[in-house]
Structure 1
Amino acid sequence: LVHATLHAQGYDHETNERDALEMEALEILLLASMGFDNPY
């Protein structure tokens, strides 16, 4: 759900390396805030 939400906000990890790095960092942060471990 976090991953899809970031896509809905315009992030594209498949064609933009900067977006990929930002997206991964945001996913880790958001998942951690909900008590989930780093998926990467």
Structure 2
Amino acid sequence: MLEINFLCIFTTIKRGIILNRIQLFGKDKNIKYDNKREI
């Protein structure tokens, strides 16, 4: 049971990190586009 719980926690943390990276890249792209529009 402990091993299964550990794997579930590990996979959820990995997914969270990947989602955060995708969100950060999306924000960076949006900021770049906004800057181009302002200029």
Higher helix share: 2
Query: Given the two structures, how large is their TM-score scaled by the length of structure 1?
Result: 0.48
Query: Given the two structures, how large is their TM-score scaled by the length of structure 2?
Result: 0.49
